[in-house]
A and B are shown apart, each in its own frame.
Chain A
């Protein structure tokens, strides 16, 4: 079990760095899809006591939603809104990657502090969860493009999912699926909002929104 968790952890971190360093939005969406699938496997690996229906349903639902459905919606949206790359983010790509390294170190430190309180959780996943939330927040504040901000939201969602799976031993299935449904609806609403913003203003650059002041 620890070996497969370590592999998920390392690959998951790499997807985060890929998201930080890639300018093409299509590529970012595919990285996010891979990340979603990877972290959906955490409950399968973590609940090694039995691959019950609950765990399979949770992991399967996650994979379908984050690995297939969200990317499909986002790629469709990208095609409709006709932008393909983040031209000039507020923070450059090299600086973003360096931020990622710092964030990784900080989340490691936080996880060391947190772990005694949550001693039954695997340490790597605790650290990954904190890191994912940090990276998601960073993507939201550092990118101009509204679509990239949706991606940032989904990275945070991945982090929260991992945190929930490892810390809460027995969540009712209904609650977990409810959260998934929430994320699903959120992506749709955000997608529609982004679409209408681009339709109305001809750009998804959030920096332009400041010109709306009356």
Chain B
């Protein structure tokens, strides 16, 4: 029983993460007056890609094959550090939030290397943009987590999210609201959602993440798509753990609240994507630095 309890958070993520982009797509379709793809469409896409064979270019090396696998590996490792629905993470130690950020960075590094390895200038351009924006987004994530550390006085993710409750919100309302906004922006930035990047286009010069994975086919593409869903889930649960600080004794109730929070977040992302246009590329750094500023202001407000 206890074993099940410990693996609750990663299992939830591995099983339910593909639904997250499904809900986003359904929301976008609903706002546009269409019915939209079924909720399980992302799963079907992954299954379809898994059945196909992979094609590799002549100029590529093993890096292209390794990229998606390493990326998925880092994301699954990150899941082990992630508390969900007030269930502590499988592994929790002091400073694991830095490991989480590092794992996400490593996954990105592998993806970028794979993109560069294809030798396509198109993908090189995407890699350059991805790294440029990541250089701004990672400090924002670290700042936001550091602010949470300061609010709760805990240094591991599980302890931090256990420490955030209704009382904390009443005590540090401005700070927590600012950090939550930072997480929301980071969910959009890190997952290449609309104000930053358009996940639906595959052939446009201003896109970032999609362009890096253009040369991946078959199982590699399946891994990448599944990894993208996991990443949405990871950053989303950072936000939901903060915005839905439910710690009732009843695990069913808490779990239901957290899952409802995730669904709500997916709907919010869908609405943001429907309501906003993508920023011009020069405005994206401004957007990300703005998010980092929110976290920084939250931190400084707390010092007062």
How far, in whole Å, are A21 and B177 apart by their CA atoms in the complex? 20
B168 CB within 8 Å of chain A: no
Interface segment, one of A3-11, A152-160, A189-197: A3-11
Q: B177 — which chain A residues lie within 8 A by C-beta?
A: 10
* CB-CB contacts below 8 Å: B177-195 with A: 177-178
B286 CB within 8 Å of chain A: yes
- Contact partner of B285 (CB less than 8 A), chosen from A6, A94, A105, is A94
B304 and A101 contacting across the interface, CB-CB below 8 Å = no
- Contact partner of B301 (CB less than 8 A), chosen from A13, A21, A93, A101, is A13
B174 CB within 8 Å of chain A: yes
A105 and B300 contacting across the interface, CB-CB below 8 Å = yes
A10 and B289 contacting across the interface, CB-CB below 8 Å = no
B300 and A6 contacting across the interface, CB-CB below 8 Å = no
A17 CB within 8 Å of chain B: yes
- Contact partner of A14 (CB less than 8 A), chosen from B175, B286, B297, B303, is B297
A108 and B293 contacting across the interface, CB-CB below 8 Å = no
B301 and A9 contacting across the interface, CB-CB below 8 Å = yes
How far, in whole Å, are A105 and B303 apart by their CA atoms in the complex? 10
Q: A10 — which chain B residues lie within 8 A by C-beta?
A: 174-175, 177-178, 297-298, 301
| A13, A21, A93, A105, most chain B CB atoms within 10 A | A13
A166 CB within 8 Å of chain B: no
- Contact partner of B293 (CB less than 8 A), chosen from A3, A6, A97, A127, is A97
Known: A10-B174, A13-B297. A21 touches B290 (CB 8 A): yes
A17 and B174 contacting across the interface, CB-CB below 8 Å = no
- Contact partner of A127 (CB less than 8 A), chosen from B286, B296, B304, is B304
Q: A13 — which chain B residues lie within 8 A by C-beta?
A: 297, 301
* CB-CB contacts below 8 Å: A107-141 with B: 108, 123-124, 127
Closest to B172 in A: A6
B173 CB within 8 Å of chain A: yes
A104 CB within 8 Å of chain B: yes
B174 and A108 contacting across the interface, CB-CB below 8 Å = no
Q: B296 — which chain A residues lie within 8 A by C-beta?
A: 101, 104
- Number of A residues near B (Cβ < 8 Å) is 22
Q: A98 — which chain B residues lie within 8 A by C-beta?
A: 289
B304 and A123 contacting across the interface, CB-CB below 8 Å = yes
Known: A10-B297, A101-B296, A104-B297. A17 touches B290 (CB 8 A): yes
Closest to A11 in B: B174
A100 and B293 contacting across the interface, CB-CB below 8 Å = yes
How far, in whole Å, are A75 and B202 apart by their CA atoms in the complex? 42
A17 and B300 contacting across the interface, CB-CB below 8 Å = no
B289 and A108 contacting across the interface, CB-CB below 8 Å = no
- Contact partner of B173 (CB less than 8 A), chosen from A7, A97, A100, is A7
Closest to B297 in A: A13
Q: A6 — which chain B residues lie within 8 A by C-beta?
A: 173-174, 301, 304
Q: A105 — which chain B residues lie within 8 A by C-beta?
A: 300
Nearest CB of chain A from residue B128's CB, rounded to whole Å: 18
How far, in whole Å, are A11 and B177 apart by their CA atoms in the complex? 11
Known: A108-B304, A123-B304. A101 touches B293 (CB 8 A): yes
How far, in whole Å, are A194 and B117 apart by their CA atoms in the complex? 56
Q: A124 — which chain B residues lie within 8 A by C-beta?
A: 301, 304
B174 and A7 contacting across the interface, CB-CB below 8 Å = yes
Closest to B136 in A: A94
Interface string of B62-79 (1 = CB under 8 A from A): 000000000000000000
How far, in whole Å, are A124 and B178 apart by their CA atoms in the complex? 17
Known: A3-B173, A6-B173. A104 touches B300 (CB 8 A): yes
How far, in whole Å, are A94 and B284 apart by their CA atoms in the complex? 10
- Contact partner of A17 (CB less than 8 A), chosen from B175, B293, B301, B303, is B293
Q: B301 — which chain A residues lie within 8 A by C-beta?
A: 6, 9-10, 13, 124
Q: B290 — which chain A residues lie within 8 A by C-beta?
A: 17, 21, 97
* CB-CB contacts below 8 Å: A14-44 with B: 14, 17, 21
A93 and B297 contacting across the interface, CB-CB below 8 Å = no
Closest to B175 in A: A10
Q: A101 — which chain B residues lie within 8 A by C-beta?
A: 293, 296-297
* Residues in chain B within 8 A of chain A (CB atoms): 173-175, 177-178, 285-286, 289-290, 293-294, 296-298, 300-301, 303-304
Closest 4 CB pairs of A and B: A10-B174, A94-B289, A124-B304, A101-B296
20 chain-A/chain-B pairs, Cβ below 8 angstroms: A3-B173, A6-B173, A6-B301, A6-B304, A9-B304, A10-B175, A10-B301, A13-B297, A13-B301, A14-B178, A17-B297, A21-B286, A21-B289, A21-B290, A98-B289, A101-B297, A104-B297, A123-B304, A124-B304, A127-B304
Q: Given A17-B297, A94-B289, 13 other A-B contacts at CB below 8 A?
A: A9-B174, A13-B297, A21-B293, A93-B286, A94-B285, A97-B290, A97-B293, A98-B289, A104-B300, A108-B300, A108-B303, A124-B304, A127-B304
